[in-house]
Structure 1
Amino acid sequence: MIRKIFRIFLRIIGFLFLFSILMVIVYKWVPVPFTPLMAIRYFENPEEDFRHDWVSMEEISPQLQLAVVASEDQNFLNHNGFDFDAIEKAIENNKKGKKVRGASTISQQTAKNVFLWPERSWFRKGLEVYFTFLIELFWSKERILEVYLNSIEMGKGIYGAQAAAETWFGKPATNLSVYEAAGIAAILPNPREYRANPASNYIQQRKNWIVRQMNNLGKLNFN
């Protein structure tokens, strides 16, 4: 009886393992229609307007692509999914009692947003590591950023670059200016509380900082 249960358990684990790889491979080409966070937000706030329009990378302003890399993960093009220097710094700052943002890379955030749920636990973190490894293995950096920009929360009920550009600035994502792109990137740490437009003093300061970082980084090169 125990052996039978164990075999069933192994089959379930094997099925989930193969299914996870299949999903990652499918999303290498297919647009992500929705994420677990979108579903959770919908049931938490059914009265909230839901805006999500997938667009290709060519339809997203290079300024926004650069802005999110400058604000969220400046080493994005150089690491393999995990920025160990940033993780080390975060650990040291936490030991000193400093309140700092986590060291999650864009790859980790993409893995979490597309395949997982928002929860702080070692189990969920372990799955995040696993899916981050898979998307770095099967996807290009450009694809990771494309999925990230189309899937993340950018305001209450606002998901992805196109919906954010239309909501905050009344224009498609392809036409965002430098400061508009920086405004959207500036609210990502807490998109349900911050507004990209009109910007508060704090968001304006973050915008100015992001623009300086964008100038320092220069053009993104995915090749």
Structure 2
Amino acid sequence: MKKFILTKYNEALKTTNLDGIPSDALDMLVALEDKRFHKHNGYDLRGMTRALYVFLKGEKIQGASTIEQQLVRVLTSRYERTIKRKIIEIYFARYISKRKSKVEIAKLYLSIAYFGSGMNGYHQAVKKLKQSHQLENIYFYAELVSRLRYPQPYNPDVKYFKKIHCRAAYGVKVYSRTNLYKR
């Protein structure tokens, strides 16, 4: 079973281009998706506890997946919302985290993640989004990474772009407070 995830991981490495992903994009990934990325081994017990507490209080469901867990989800193409999937995801995320570097994990995830319609992976997303941006800057990366939570539909409306803007503004705020991604 462990060989399965490493095989998937290595196949993805062979078919993607990790070059050209700037550190600012990695910083924003950590700022928006996994603030404790450098403090855990693939799963964030504190984040899972927080999400469970909020759920039990009857509030809005929160995410608790680490970047490693999100990578495992994409590699295995398992998206169902079950406890079994989550346990398998944690197991594989921990396994990958012990064997691969944080930089490679983050770059691979960005390289294969789904950002929305016509944007499979970082390079396709940047190419498509550059049509509406003059240059790549922190806000550009914040909008890009925001699409991991809110993939862009084929015909996005004003409400969608407002949601992206709010999440991106939050990402810029978090990013500016700390340098989360340690190179």
TM (normalized to structure 2)? 0.85
Alignment of 1:92-111 (within 5 A): 92-111=53-72
- Indicate if the aligned counterparts of 1:113 and 1:152 stay in contact, CA closer than 8 A: yes
Match of 2:168 in 1: 207
- Percent identity of paired positions between Structure 1 and Structure 2: 26
Question: What is the one-letter code of the residue matched to 2:31?
Answer: A
Match of 2:110 in 1: 149
Displacement of 1:79 in angstroms is 0.8
Match of 1:20 in 2: 4
Displacement of 1:201 in angstroms is 2.4
Match of 1:55 in 2: 17
TM (normalized to structure 1)? 0.71
Please list every run of 5 or more consecutive structure 2 residues that lacks an aligned counterpart in the other structure: none
Question: What is the one-letter code of the residue matched to 2:54?
Answer: N
Q: Does 1:177 align with 2:177?
A: no
Q: 1:32 to 1:101 in 2, by over 3 A?
A: farther
Which structure has the greater CA radius of gyration?
1
Displacement of 1:142 in angstroms is 0.8
Alignment of 1:1-223 (within 5 A): 17=1, 19-20=3-4, 22-23=6-7, 26=10, 31=13, 33=15, 54-56=16-18, 58-170=19-131, 176-193=136-153, 200-218=161-179, 220-222=181-183
Q: Secondary structure at the match of 1:154?
A: strand
In 2, Cα distance between equivalents of 1:21 and 1:205: 35
Question: What is the one-letter code of the residue matched to 2:27?
Answer: L
User: After TM superposition, which residue ranges in structure 1, 4 or more long, deviate above 3 angstroms?
Assistant: 24-27, 192-195
Displacement of 1:219 in angstroms is 6.0
**Count of matched residue positions in the alignment of Structure 1 and Structure 2:** 179
In 2, Cα distance between equivalents of 1:26 and 1:66: 24
In 1, Cα distance between equivalents of 2:14 and 2:79: 17
Please list every run of 5 or more consecutive structure 1 residues that lacks an aligned counterpart in the other structure: 1-16, 34-53
